[in-house]
Amino acid sequence: MSLDNRSALVTGAGSGIGRAIALALAREGASVLAADIDEAAARDTAASIEATGGRALARVLDVRQPQQHTEAVAEAVRAFGGLHIAVNNAGVSTGPSGAYRALADIDLDDWRHLTAVNLDGTFFGLRAQIPALLASGGGSIVNIASVMAVSARANLGAYVASKHGVLGLTRAAAVDYAQQKVRVNAIGPGYIDTPMLARKDAIAREGIAGWHPMGRLGSAQEIAELAAWLASERASFVTGAFYPVDGGYLVS
């Protein structure tokens, strides 16, 4: 398998895309630390990995807390003998108000929440993970951005800005560490059928599906397949790249 003798840390691993990625990395042979702000959800992902014969641990990690990233990385290194793969996936699409508003009407608490989780959370992750990957002789980091990293829709200003920032961090880190064998790439999912989207009603979901030339939502598994490839040595010359997985969304 492509990730035998590799170890991975996945944030937001308790649900949706993060869970699918954790399972895919384990399927390819990696030992996985499933981290999430929701401890029960992280444990459930780790249990699913172990049920299929894989090796996994679970822990609480609020990506807004730099110290918790440091502790999670240290645990992975201690338990698995090093860290080779990190997936910064934890993210939110709304703030405490739950509202979608035009830019000048964005609630400051919503702005702060979205940027704290999506942008600061990715930076804090990279900052803790990169030294561990360097100590392992290199590795691969995958950041889960969005099609909103390179485009915008109405009333999504904080999300759009935070995901553009995730792509910027990806490119900056890729350049800084290319010669030290740490590859850093970003995936841009279109609208994916996860609990994040399940909060919308059926009519809204059908409308959203129609924004993709394929006429459907994506699945978390379709994101996980690319993440597993980027994590592996099959992608050995790939860094600083942005890959949409979006059923044609960005070209329509």
Ligand X SMILES: NC(=O)c1ccc[n+]([C@@H]2O[C@H](COP(=O)([O-])OP(=O)(O)OC[C@H]3O[C@@H](n4cnc5c(N)ncnc54)[C@H](O)[C@@H]3O)[C@@H](O)[C@H]2O)c1
Enumerate the active-site residues.
159
- Angle at the Cα of 128 (from 126 to 129), degrees rounded to 5? 65
- Check residue 37 for interaction with ligand X (CB under 6 A): yes
Is residue 182 within 8 A of residue 86, CB to CB? The reply is: no
Collect all residues with Cβ–Cβ distance below 8 Å to 152 and sequence separation of at least 6. Answer: 160
Smallest gap from Cβ 125 to ligand X, in A, equals 10
Binding-residue pattern over the window 83 to 102 for ligand X, x denoting contact by CB under 6 A: ------xxxxx---------
Kindly identify the residues of this chain, within the stretch 146-165, that bind ligand X according to CB under 6 A.
146
Residues contacting residue 68 through CB under 8 Å, at least 6 positions apart: 60, 61, 62
Name which of 64 and 181 has its Cβ closer to ligand X: 64
In whole angstroms, the minimum distance from the beta carbon of 185 to ligand X comes to: 15
Kind and range of the H or E run holding 122: helix 121-135
Cα separations in angstroms, 137 against 81, 85, 130, 190, 230: 13, 12, 11, 33, 17
CB of 217 to ligand X, least distance (A): 7
Told to check if 144 binds ligand X by CB under 6 A, we report: yes
Rule CB under 6 A: is residue 38 a binding residue for ligand X? yes
For residues 120 and 169, the answer to whether their CB atoms sit within 8 Å is no
Residue closer to ligand X by CB (options 31, 143) is 143
129 scored as a contact of ligand X (CB under 6 A)? no
222 is a site residue for ligand X (CB under 6 A): no
171's CB contacts (< 8 A; 6+ apart) are 240
User: In the complex, which residues of this chain contact ligand X (CB under 6 A)?
Assistant: 11-12, 14-18, 36-38, 41, 61-64, 89-93, 117, 144, 146, 189, 191-192, 194-197
